């Protein structure tokens, strides 16, 4: 039996404008999204992630290239002829309808029997845990509840793919975290392919099966959250996903040489070494096999403490250590210490 992917974008280009003034929002992007996975398009504003989502939805047509959904080409089909639904930043709920009527609206437009609409709306509201609010008007709901109604409405017609365009951006931090858990639960329970667009790295890392990192209209890297975080392919990906340090290096026997003269072992290829702040061990100054450094300052973040360190060649390095119950990490500005990279943590990347 041949496996069919949920979505394929093949060599998609989307240009806005004409001639020399044309801007490529998407620059020859190809990506495959598997059936039943939670796939996130991650990147800064203007990177092309929403444009790609709109091409999949049918709200935009590519300048060239091809879009396939469930193995069938849909490049030139309008949105209503594609087996997808979209949840936007603005929930676009109907204020004059009840919660249940909002959820069943698409089914009503499709001419489904009234009994089926009622049963499906009830089932979807139970899925998002809002069955007790079925008779309320949406104006009486909180932002988080409106978000759940929008999700239930989008899921009601049982699309093959659900597209989510930064749907949590209007929520406060605590509610965003709660909805991240709920979205992942909904995706796993329904088995529907979710394609989620965000600029928030934490959302991408916590919810996704795979992430596609975008910049300047190009797909920089696709992989699992763990792969993207631990094995970034270039400087942009390393810096956009989490905090990291960059140090220039030159080839040396047995590894690569830092500006301070120390030789370290690192995987990957490139002339820049990256090391995450939490992937270092701070020890007493002079311990064999460590880098000499001086503590410039400390920043207390509650759960952990960040130390800004100065290497002998003047390069700065940020390390992160877990804060003890007392809150005192045991270091002080001006203190001389030794820095050891954890095995396999240092990585070479391209610029």
Write the DSSP string, 15-80.
EESSGGG-EEEEEEEEEEE-TT-EEEEE--TTSSHHHHHHHHHTSS--SEEEEEETTEE-TT--GG
Share of the chain above pLDDT 70, in %: 99
What is the torsional sign of CA 134, 139, 141, 145? Answer: positive
Whole-number pLDDT of residue 1? 47
Residue 39: pLDDT band by 50, 70, 90 thresholds? very high
Q: Please compute the mean of the pLDDT values over residues 79-102 and round it to a whole number.
A: 89
pLDDT at 3: 76
As a whole number, mean pLDDT of residues 195-210 equals 94
* Coil/strand/helix, residue 187: helix
Alpha-carbon span 106 to 126, nearest angstrom: 18
Q: pLDDT per residue over 95-152, tens digit each?
A: 889 999 999 998 888 889 899 999 999 998 998 888 899 999 988 888 888 888 988 9
List CB contacts of 214: < 8 A, sequence separation 6 or more.
29, 41, 42, 43, 47, 48, 49, 52, 220
Model confidence at 2, in pLDDT bands (50, 70, 90)?
low
pLDDT in tens, 314-324: 999 999 999 88
Looking at residue 339, its pLDDT comes to 95
* Mean pLDDT along residues 163-173: 85
| pLDDT score recorded for residue 326 | 83
Q: DSSP string of 301-340?
A: -SSEEEEEEE-TTS-EEEEEEEPPTTS--S--TT-EEEEE
Q: What is the pLDDT of residue 179?
A: 84
Whether the predicted pLDDT of 228 surpasses 50: yes
Tokens of 94: 């109907």
The more confidently predicted of residues 89 and 291 is 291
When the pLDDT of each residue in the chain is averaged and rounded to a whole number, the result is: 92
Q: What does the pLDDT look like over 169-186, one tens digit per residue?
A: 877 888 888 888 888 988
- Quick check: 350 pLDDT over 50? yes
Structural contact between residues 108 and 94, judged by C-beta atoms closer than 8 angstroms: no
Residue 32 in contact with residue 7, Cβ under 8 Å? yes
Instruction: Please give the model's pTM, rounded to 2 decimal places.
Output: 0.89
pLDDT over 90 at 89, yes or no: no
Of 8-17, 71-80, 135-144, least confident by mean pLDDT is 135-144
Considering only residues 18 and 204, tell me which one the structure prediction assigns the higher pLDDT.
Answer: 204
91: pLDDT strictly greater than 80:
no
């Amino acid at each position: 039996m041949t496996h069919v992917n949920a979505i394929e974008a093949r060599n998609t280009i989307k240009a806005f404008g004409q001639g020399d003034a044309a801007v490529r929002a998407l620059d020859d992007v190809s990506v495959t999204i598997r059936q039943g996975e939670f796939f996130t398009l991650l990147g800064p504003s203007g990177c092309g992630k929403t444009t790609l989502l709109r091409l999949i939805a049918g709200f935009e047509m590519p300048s060239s290239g091809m879009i396939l959904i469930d193995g069938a080409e849909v490049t030139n089909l309008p949105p209503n002829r594609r087996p997808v639904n979209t949840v936007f930043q603005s929930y676009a709920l109907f204020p004059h309808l009840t919660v249940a009527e909002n959820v069943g609206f698409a089914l009503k437009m499709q001419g489904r029997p009234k009994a089926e609409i009622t049963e499906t709306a009830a089932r979807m509201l139970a899925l998002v845990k809002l069955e007790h609010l079925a008779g309320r008007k949406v104006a009486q709901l909180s932002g988080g509840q409106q978000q759940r109604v929008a999700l239930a409405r989008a899921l009601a017609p049982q699309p093959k793919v659900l597209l989510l365009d930064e749907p949590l951006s209007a929520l406060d931090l605590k509610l965003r975290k709660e909805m991240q858990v709920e979205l992942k639960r909904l995706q796993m329970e329904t088995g529907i392919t979710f394609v989620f667009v965000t600029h928030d790295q934490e959302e991408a890392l916590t919810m996704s099966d795979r992430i596609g990192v975008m910049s300047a209209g190009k797909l920089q890297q696709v992989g699992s959250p763990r792969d993207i975080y631990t094995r970034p392919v270039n400087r942009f990906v390393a810096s956009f996903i989490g905090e990291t340090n960059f140090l220039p290096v030159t080839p040396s026997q047995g590894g690569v040489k830092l500006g301070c003269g120390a030789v370290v072992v690192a995987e990957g290829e490139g002339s820049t070494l990256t090391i995450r702040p939490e992937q270092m061990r701070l020890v007493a100054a002079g311990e064999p096999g460590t880098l000499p450094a001086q503590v410039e300052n400390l920043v207390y973040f509650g759960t952990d403490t960040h130390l800004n360190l100065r290497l002998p060649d003047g390069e700065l390095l940020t390390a992160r250590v877990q804060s003890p119950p007392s809150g005192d990490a045991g270091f002080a500005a001006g203190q001389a210490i030794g820095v050891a990279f954890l095995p396999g943590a240092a990585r070479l990347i391209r610029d």
